[in-house]
Amino acid sequence: MRISVEGLACRRGERLLFRDLSFSLASGEALVVTGRNGAGKSSLIAMLAGRLAPAAGAIRAEGIGEATLAEVTNHVGHKEGLKAALTAEENLAFAGAMLGRPRLSPREALARVGLARAADLPAGYLSAGQRRRVALARLFVSRRPLWLLDEPTSALDAASQVRLAEVMQGHLAEGGLIIAATHAPLGLEGTKTLSIDAHVPSVDLPGGAEGERA
Amino acid sequence: MTRAFLALVLRDLRLAARVGGSGAMGLVFFLMLVAVVPFALGPDLNLLARIGPALLWFSAVLATLIGLDRLFQTDVEDGAIDLILSSDTPLEVLVAAKGVAHWLTTGLPLALLAPLFGLLLALTPGAMLAVAATLVVGTPALTFIGAVGAALTASLGRGGLLLAILVMPLMVPTLIFGVSAANAATGGTIAFLTPFLILAALSLVAIVIGIFAAAAALRQSA
Amino acid sequence: MPRLSSLWNLANPTRFLGLADRLLPWLAALAAALLAVGLYLSFFVAPPDYQQGETVRIMFIHVPAAWLGLFMYVMMSASALGTLVWRHPLADVAQKAAAPIGAAFTFVCLVTGSLWGKPMWGTWWVWDARLTSVLVLFLMYLGIMALWRAVDDPGRAARAVAVLTLVGVVNIPIIKFSVDWWSTLHQPAAVFRIDGPTIHPSMLWPLLVMALAFTVLAVALHVAGMRNEILRRRVRSLWLMEAERLDAGAETAAGAAR
């Protein structure tokens, strides 16, 4: 599949966050979105997830048949979406039922993030990093090609970050796509980078540089 | 689609049953209302028996309202709404699942226990049965009308009072026909079936409108 | 912090668990024996009332249940003081275990009162001052149980519930007084009342045995409930420790896999 974004602009309330943002991404490619705090990284992710309407521009997806972009997207935002009273396994089983296109079982998905033994623990008992990893395990319960990750490495320790980089590399090798908004380097090879700062409108510089910096 | 529907119903039932869940809270509130109102009215059993069906219905409306603000709010707060919105199952089906789970934990137990609480109000067996029957048929309307308000206030943090203000007027027809059906069953000038069938129709309409309106509101606000 | 308090909690409750295991069979047997004797006395030995006939036998369950509904609340209040003032680790366990038992006895009292009322008053329920006070007590139990359920951390829940329980204790006389006032305001005094002090000895003895049986039963249930609560908290501490250990375990597992 292929995603192309052209002339995207984002407006939150009265403020224009960014404009003229363009990039394209094909199967097996990853895009790292960088930018200072408040530049609109999370808004861009929300737009790609179909949760926020663009003020201008278009997001197109090819090669996904009848499905909409939201239906092939596996989105892990900065909120984990875990219920404290449910066990890690129950949380993932629910995510699997919502996302459809089943892939791994909840327990297998937990094993991928190194939390196989947490399956029967209520999510409320887990630490912040562990909860983050359970949320990331959601990426494996469903066969959705586009991974949208908002600050995926936050609260993760060094070992978990390495592991995350490994699974992301594996996803790319299988022909998946990854778009991640992050401050920290992800440790992935051959990624494209997009800096939102270049598209933030300022009084002195109308317009912005060309969207893509490979 | 059925899988996602069942998964969501099951999850909400589990959450209601576990520590920190709302569980039987609506039911306890219902009992409190029924038990406290006679302190204001006086213990005259004839009076209580006469207004009993109305009192039970009004208490059911309030008891349904108090838990409703959390219907979507918890999912918005912890981010689970992202999962629900990005499902390949239509959002309307999932809203229906939330409504069904809410009704199973609130409306249905209220209706089933209403006869027991009717004892406190000296209702006749016929009146108890009528109140229970009208509540079984009418509470889905309360749940799904309320779901619209819950969806509108989902991202507002403190939506409880606002929700009540938004949906109480919409619940008036249900209240009118619920109480008239319950009263008609225990004697009166109109046949029981007339208001009862209108109540059933109101419920069906409320379910349909509620599902689509709540889904639309969630897409906007969440 | 949860680790520290849970370790501190384990010291004393361990002795309690041992004691509970040894005591429970005896308490249960004693309660069963007393109940058997009490029920025999109340149903076969005690004479029917000259006015109420056989229905008076409901009293032998109704009155002890009412007494225990109150007794368990007193018990909870003492435990609440233990939690707030002395911070005894078993106090909040006792307090939590007492609530559903007290609510159950209060509920039995309400149901038997209702069953008794049907033949006496012709309706299942009369807003009589006594019954109504018991109903309010039942509602207070439900509130306390709801608060226990709402807070996940037992330590925080215990202090909140202790405050609520003590506020309840202060209010009980006020509630009782108001309900009596409300009742006399509305009701002619024609309603049937038991004449407390003139109860005949042939009825007094079965009543006393039943009261004792119910008390022993309540103590047995309370000890069992406390044991369950301690075990439940241990499961909770084990879960917390398990979650803490997970990280270390996961890293070595990852290292081995590589």
Output the 3-class SS for chain C. CHHHHHHHHHHHHHHHHHHHHHHHHHHHHHHHHHHHHHHHHHHHHCCCECCCEHHHHHHHHHHHHHHHHHHHHHHHHHHHHHHHHHCCCCHHHHHHHHHHHHHHHHHHHHHHHHHHHHHHHCCCCCCCHHHHHHHHHHHHHHHHHHHHHHCCCHHHHHHHHHHHHHHHHHHHHHHHHHHHHHHHHHCCCCCCCCCCCCCCHHHHHHHHHHHHHHHHHHHHHHHHHHHHHHHHHHHHHHHHHHHHHHHHHHHHHHHHHC
Q: Model confidence over B164-207: pLDDT tens digits?
A: 888 999 999 999 999 999 988 877 778 888 899 999 999 999 99
The strand pair at A15-26 and A2-12 is best described as: antiparallel
Asked if the model's pLDDT at residue A164 lies above 50, the reply is yes
In tens, the pLDDT along A107-155 reads: 999 988 888 888 888 898 888 888 999 999 999 999 899 999 988 888 8
What average pLDDT does range A2-19 have in this prediction? 85
What letters, b where the CB count within 10 A reaches 16 and e where it falls short, cover B84-99? bbbbbbebebbbbbbb
Give dist(CA C246, CA C228) in Å, integer: 27
Residue (of A57, A12, A38) closest to A208 by Cα position? A57
Contact status of C242 with chain A (Cβ, < 8 Å): yes
The per-residue pLDDT for range C22-60, each reduced to its tens digit, is 888 999 999 999 989 888 888 887 777 766 777 778 888
Whether A199 has a pLDDT exceeding 90, the answer reads no
First-to-last C-alpha distance (Å) of chain B:
22
Q: Do A121 and C244 touch (CB under 8 A)?
A: no
Q: What distance in Å separates the CA atoms of residue A29 and residue A31, rounded to the nearest whole number?
A: 7
| CB-count exposure of residue C190 (10 Å: 0-12, 13-18, 19+) | exposed
Cα-trace Rg, chain C: 23
DSSP letter at A70 equals G
Token duo for residue A70: 């939201």
Number of domains in chain C: 1
Q: Residue C44 has what pLDDT?
A: 81
CA distance B131 to A127: 49
Structure confidence at residue A100 (pLDDT):
86
Position C249 scores a pLDDT of: 53
Looking at chain B, which residue has its C-alpha nearest residue C128? B43
DSSP structure class, residue A125: G
Whether residue C226 is contained in a domain is answered as yes
Domain that holds residue C78: 2-49+58-190+200-239
* B13-72 pLDDT, tens digit each: 999 888 766 768 888 899 999 988 888 888 888 888 888 999 999 999 999 988 888 899
Contact B101, B118 (CB under 8 A): no
pLDDT at residue A157 in the model: 85
pLDDT score, position A107: 92
Q: Which residues pair with A21 in a beta bridge?
A: A8
- Cβ pair C149:B21 closer than 8 A: yes
- Which has more confidence, C249 or B117? B117
In a domain, C136, yes or no: yes
pLDDT interval class at B160 (50, 70, 90): confident
Given a cut of 90, is residue A188 above it in pLDDT?
no
Q: How far apart are the C-alpha atoms of A183 and A152, rounded to whole Å?
A: 10
Question: So where are chain A's domains?
Answer: 1-64+145-214, 84-143
Whether C143 and B28 lie within 8 Å, measured CB to CB: yes
- Please state, for a pLDDT cut of 70, what percent of chain B lies above it: 97
Cβ distance B120 to C125 less than 8 Å, yes or no, reads yes
Residue A31 pairs with which residues in a beta bridge?
A179, A192
Buried/exposed A70-83: b ≥16 CB within 10 Å, e otherwise: bbbbbbbbbebbbb
**Number of cross-chain residue pairs from A and C with Cβ atoms under 8 Å apart:** 37
Q: Does A187 touch chain B (CB under 8 A)?
A: no
| Residues of chain C predicted below pLDDT 70 | 1-11, 50-51, 185-199, 247-258
Chain B: partners with 3+ C-beta pairs within 8 Å: A, C
Instruction: Work out the pLDDT band at A202, boundaries 50, 70, 90.
Output: low
Tell me which of B18, B19, B47, B105 to substitute to probe the interface with C (most C C-beta atoms closer than 10 Å): B19
Residue with the larger pLDDT of the pair A14 and C70: C70
**Residue C140 C-beta-side C-alpha neighbours within 13 Å:** 28
**In this complex, do C242 and A163 lie within 8 Å of one another by their Cβ atoms?**
no
Cβ-based contacts of B39 with chain C (< 8 Å): 179, 182
Residue whose structure tokens are 């009155």 = C63
Reported as a single tens digit per residue, the pLDDT across A20-49 is 888 889 888 889 888 888 788 888 888 888
Q: What is the ipTM of this complex?
A: 0.85
**Token pair for C119:** 């033949």
Q: Does C256 touch chain A (CB under 8 A)?
A: no
CB distance A71–B88 less than 8 Å?
yes
In a domain, C44, yes or no: yes
Which of B11, B72, B83, B84 is best to mutate for the A interface (most A CBs within 10 A)? Answer: B83
Is C251 inside a domain boundary?
A: no
Give the model confidence (pLDDT) of A68-97 as tens digits: 888 889 988 888 889 988 999 999 999 999
Specify if C254 maps to a domain.
Answer: no
Contact B44 C182 (CB under 8 A): no
Task: For the domain covering A1-64+145-214, report its CATH number.
Answer: 3.40.50.300
| Interchain proximity A79–B82, CB inside 8 Å | yes
Domain assignment present for residue C174? The answer is: yes
Does C245 map to a domain? no
Q: Which residue of B has its CA nearest to A70?
A: B86
Instruction: Determine, yes or no, domain membership for C204.
Output: yes
Residue type (1 letter), B211: I
Within an 8 Å CB–CB cutoff, is residue B43 touching chain C?
Answer: yes
Of A125, A126, A159, the CB nearest to C254: A159
